[in-house]
Amino acid sequence: AMEDVSAKFVSQKISRTRWRPLPAAALQPPDLFATGSWDNEDNRISIWSAGDLGNAGLNGEYHGEPHLLCDIQHNGDVMDMQFLDQERIVVASSTGTVTIFRHHQNNQTLSVNHRWEKAHYHVDQDTSCGGAACTGVVCNNPEIVTVGEDGRINLFRADQKDAVRTIDNADSSTLHAVTFLRTTEILTVNSIGQLKIWDFRQQRNEPSQIFSLAGDRVPLHCVDRHPNQQHIVATGGQDGMLSIWDIRQGTMPVSLLNAHEAEMWEVHFHPSDPDHLFTCSEDGSLWHWDTSTNVSEKPSFLRQGGRSTAYLSHSTINQSVVSAWLSNDPTKDRMEITNLIPNQTLSVNSLDVLGPCLVYGTDAEAIYVNRQLFA
């Protein structure tokens, strides 16, 4: 229910929210998260503690709001952000620069660890105004891949000054987002509705596969890969639709699901429970898509309170996890969709899920933490 959510008003528009990854053996829920801002005179990277679980009440409900541990100024809008490891965060700027910030936990400060000036640029790297926005970044420590408005793909290593590999004219349109498919392959999405696979083992600067939305070439803004079924990919675009792709077959999406009323900004499979997927949008909504097969049996937190839940009853119960996403119309088989924030009006720009916790940020200059997603 909504009372599980704590809000913090931060006097800047939040473009990205990311949980700090947990150590492999960690049992505790995530605590630290980072935010980046945009469209402010002075944009910032900030590290927050999600709040003190010691404040939990008798019934284990959570009190306390996120509190700021440290922050640092950032040139340009924060376009994307990913943790490289426990201490370092890679940030993509609208100026075209890519920066690694280090979080010093002993004295709670942030510093610049490394910077690639104008990793993305329109004319040439030397013109003063030539920077092109770096729109997306993805990390697989020590490797970092960036994409940009200039249609360029860079492969960096955290310990090396120069790019390991650059594909200069990877795309003639803007690349909006990137994710790893496996250690040597990445997926990009662009502004003409295409999803492309790039294999860094190949010397040629051509995608190994191209997929595209039929017809309208709607710009795609976000992409995520299913954590266990690496051939299942979700994308979201300007029309708010959720597309599910099976990259083993065909060149078009397996299913197109009506979702938001406006641009979908981010899509994330839950990293450890990928029956659950989350999307957020310019229209002020954040949707939880649940394809777990026991929807009807479990006492669902989704149906409490005045939430707008589209509950779809199902006749076929023995659907496997995989086919839930890959059936031609997943909604016919088993899916429950809930808008977790029914009354928000301004854009929800970013979300991140880890364990039982959700963090999201909005143009209403607020960050929100839900510590009991599956309570």
For residues 135 and 313, the model is more confident at: 135
* Cα 217 to the center of its chain, rounded Å: 22
Question: Which strand (E) or helix (H) includes residue 139?
Answer: strand 134-140
What is the spatial distance between Cα 342 and Cα 263, in angstroms, rounded to a whole number?
17
pLDDT value at position 129? 66
The pLDDT, as a whole number, for residue 303 is 35
pLDDT for residue 7 is more than 60: yes
The pair of structure tokens assigned to 109 is 């400060």
Statement: residue 301 has pLDDT above 80: no
Buried/exposed 87-109: b ≥16 CB within 10 Å, e otherwise? ebbbbbbbbbbbbbbbbeeeeee
- CA–CA separation, 175 and 145 (whole Å): 12
pLDDT (0 to 100) of residue 231: 93
Nearest to 280, CA basis, from 335, 373, 350: 350
Mean pLDDT on 154-171: 94
335: DSSP letter: -
Contact 345, 334 (CB under 8 A): no
Give Cβ neighbours of residue 251 (< 8 Å, ≥ 6 apart).
209, 210, 211, 212
Structure tokens that stand for 114 in this block: 């490394």
Rg (CA), the chain: 20
DSSP-assigned beta bridge partners for residue 49: 32, 67
Residue 319 has pLDDT above 80, yes or no: no
pLDDT digits 0-9 by tens, 46-64:
999 997 655 555 555 556 7
Residue 44 has pLDDT above 80, yes or no: yes
**Average pLDDT of the residues of the chain:** 86
Q: Kindly tell me if the per-residue pLDDT of 143 is higher than 80.
A: yes
Question: Which structure tokens are listed for 157?
Answer: 């290593």
**Confidence (pLDDT) at 12:** 95
* Residue 38, token pair as written in the block: 């945009």
Residue with tokens 């191209």: 210
What confidence score (pLDDT) does residue 4 get?
74
At 94, list the tokens.
Answer: 């609208």
Q: Is the Cβ–Cβ distance between 363 and 346 less than 8 Å?
A: yes
Per-residue pLDDT, 127: 61
Q: Is 300 exposed, middle or buried (0-12, 13-18, 19+ CB in 10 A)?
A: middle
Give the pLDDT score at 342.
Answer: 81
Residue 110 to residue 222: CA distance in whole angstroms: 28
Least confident of 293-297, 308-312, 361-365: 308-312
Query: Which tokens go with 22?
Result: 């947990």
Instruction: Enter the pTM of the model.
Output: 0.88
Q: What is the pLDDT of residues 201-245, one digit of tens each?
A: 999 899 999 999 877 789 999 999 999 999 999 999 999 999 999
pLDDT tens per residue across span 73-97: 999 999 999 999 999 999 999 999 9
Distance, in Å, from the CA atom of 234 to the CA atom of 254, rounded to the nearest integer, reads 10
| Three-state secondary structure call for residue 242 | strand
CA distances, 309 to each of 210, 331, 339, 352 (Å): 35, 13, 7, 21
pLDDT of residue 275: 92
Quick one: three-class SS letters along 203-225? CCCCCCEEEECCCCCCCEEEEEE
Task: Look at domain 5-294+322-370 and name its CATH class.
Answer: mainly beta
